[in-house]
Chains A and B, each alone.
Chain A
Amino acid sequence: MIARITHLSVYVLDQDEALAFYVDKLGFKKHTDIPMHGGGRWLTVTAPEQPDLEVALMPTAPWGAWNAENAATMRNLVQQGLFGFAAFKCKDVRATYEELHAKGVEFTMPPTEQPFGIIAVLKDNSGNSFSLSELEPRRGKR
């Protein structure tokens, strides 16, 4: 029986730029950074309150199972915002929005009341989208 998820992948256009974005803007922590022979790099980050789930910042490069054509296709999809989507949780969507917006993070949806709670959608600096919702539902509106 599957018990836990330990690693997930986010495909990024540039690992250095993605690392800076995830750490400096989103507040993630760098977990592992291993340069490999041949120019490869194993780079993972973790969410501040979830140290045991590593997010691998994977390059859209022709490595391993990918040839140049596969890599170009993936790069194109990521860049257009057509590939990556995931969900983040935070304590307070509006405060997180204010903070990330002040840091220059692009939001495709500002905090919006939905029947299931408040939600916002942000993009990383590669083009991947992430929804932002709250750990616990609130009562009342601002």
Chain B
Amino acid sequence: MEPYPKAYLYKRIVQAKLLMDERFSEPIDGELICGEAAFSQSHFIRLFKQVYGVVPRVYLSNLRLERAKQLLEQGMGVTDACSSVGFRSLPTFSRAFKRYTGSAPTVFQQVRAERAKHIVEQPMDHIPSCYAQWLGWPQIRDPG
């Protein structure tokens, strides 16, 4: 593993990361991110990967997909979720989503909806019995 970058570099890399966190749904390109960090693109990519473990493009994609998971869980349609998180193409989004989560968006949404329904119907299945007992809740069944 490489030694630590210099202190001021950290601030720039973190600023660029926070920019992506805030504006992930916008069409962010490499130049904008590198501009935020005030680095050359190759230098920035190398340092970003050193700090966060992935290159900025992958970080941004994962960020969008995580947000898409939340939106789908909240019941948003796949097409709307796709555009809301900054993907321009539905097939690209669906492929990336499946690669990232292991499930197609519609399947993911269905599974999460079933879990949410089960929580409402059988809440004690999702709470370990020891906690339920400790908290004074009626104990029915352990989730494990």
A64's partner among B6, B18, B126, B136 (CB-CB below 8 A) is B136
Please, which residues of chain B bring their CB within 8 A of the CB of A98? 10-11, 14
Given known contacts A42-B131, A56-B131, A102 and B14 CB-to-CB distance under 8 angstroms: yes
Please, which residues of chain B bring their CB within 8 A of the CB of A7? 128, 131
B64 proximal to A (CB < 8 A) = no
Please, which residues of chain B bring their CB within 8 A of the CB of A99? 14, 17-18
Query: What per-residue 1/0 map shows which CB atoms of B112-144 lie under 8 Å from chain A?
Result: 000000010001001110010111110000001
Query: What per-residue 1/0 map shows which CB atoms of A82-125 lie under 8 Å from chain B?
Result: 00000000011011001100100000000000000000000000
| A-B Cβ contacts below 8 A, count | 74
B13's partner among A32, A65, A95, A142 (CB-CB below 8 A) is A95
B3 proximal to A (CB < 8 A) = yes
A65's partner among B7, B18, B136, B144 (CB-CB below 8 A) is B136
B53 proximal to A (CB < 8 A) = yes
Q: Is the CB of A142 within 8 A of B126?
A: no
B27 proximal to A (CB < 8 A) = no
Task: Give Cα A98 to B16, complex, Å.
Answer: 12
B52 proximal to A (CB < 8 A) = yes
When C-beta atoms are compared, the residue in chain A nearest to B54 turns out to be A91
Nearest CB of A to B102, in Å:
12
Please, which residues of chain B bring their CB within 8 A of the CB of A141? 3-4
Query: What per-residue 1/0 map shows which CB atoms of B71-101 lie under 8 Å from chain A?
Result: 0000000000000000000000000000000
Q: Is the CB of A34 within 8 A of B126?
A: yes
Task: Give Cα A65 to B7, complex, Å.
Answer: 49
Task: Give Cα A91 to B5, complex, Å.
Answer: 13
26 A-B residue pairs with Cβ-Cβ distance under 8 Å, sorted by A, are: A6-B144, A32-B126, A34-B126, A34-B127, A40-B136, A40-B137, A42-B127, A42-B131, A42-B137, A63-B135, A64-B134, A64-B136, A64-B137, A65-B136, A91-B53, A92-B51, A92-B52, A94-B10, A95-B13, A95-B51, A98-B11, A98-B14, A99-B17, A141-B4, A142-B4, A142-B5
Given contacts A42-B135, A63-B136, A92-B4, could you give 9 more A-B pairs where the C-beta distance is less than 8 Å?
A6-B144, A7-B128, A40-B135, A42-B123, A42-B137, A65-B134, A65-B136, A102-B18, A138-B4
Contacts from A to B (Cβ < 8 Å): 6-7, 32, 34, 36, 40, 42, 56, 63-65, 91-92, 94-95, 98-99, 102, 136, 138-142
Contacts from B to A (Cβ < 8 Å): 1-7, 10-11, 13-14, 17-18, 50-53, 119, 123, 126-128, 131, 133-137, 144
Q: Which 5 A-B pairs have the closest CB atoms?
A: A140-B3, A64-B136, A142-B4, A64-B135, A98-B14
